[in-house]
Amino acid sequence: MSTQPATSTRQPQAGSSTSSRTKQDNTPQPQHAEPRFVPQGAQFVTLSTEDLGNLFARAVRESAGRNTTSSKDLKLGDIKPFSSKPEDLEDFLNTIELVVSIKGNIYNNDQKKIAYTLTLMQDGDARLWRKQYLAEVLIDGDITDTWEEFKTKL
């Protein structure tokens, strides 16, 4: 009794390749999730990726506008106008620095900081200094000094 190696007697099916290479199917197969309870009358919509992104962006924009406190809403104590006395200058500037740092979204550039400070220079020598300062640096309606330059001149 002799044993011979087994040979395949399987015939190729119609439309199939007789090649030894097999093509792998990389198509994702649907995952079968457990059935979920769907309330009666529920409706479903299909959104494109773009529509979903737009919807998300809109929700973020709308929620950002709610329940936020702006520095405009902050009520600080009244700031006394500058007295024109040299010994009061440091306290006056410290108070201004505090306000412009807390209300940074309002006083967000040098011109606004300077303009705010000038509004508090209403009496005596401070008022005279303000008039002279504006005549000197105001060009086409714009204050040309930086905040640091202004404080040095003051």
- pLDDT in the model for residue 2: 47
Q: How far apart are CA 4 and CA 9, in angstroms?
A: 14
Q: Domain for residue 8, yes or no?
A: no
What tokens were used for 116?
Answer: 């705010």
Q: Domain for residue 25, yes or no?
A: no
pLDDT digits (tens, 9 = 90+) for 58-101: 777 776 655 455 555 667 778 899 999 999 999 999 999 999 99
- The least confident of 19-23, 85-89, 134-138 is 19-23
Burial 120-131 (b: 16+ CB within 10 A, else e): bbeeeebeebbe
Percent of the chain with pLDDT over 70: 60
Q: How far apart are CA 16 and CA 149, in angstroms?
A: 86
Tally of domains within the chain: 1
- pLDDT in the model for residue 25: 62
Q: How far apart are CA 112 and CA 99, in angstroms?
A: 12
Q: Domain for residue 29, yes or no?
A: no
**What's the domain range around 99?**
82-153
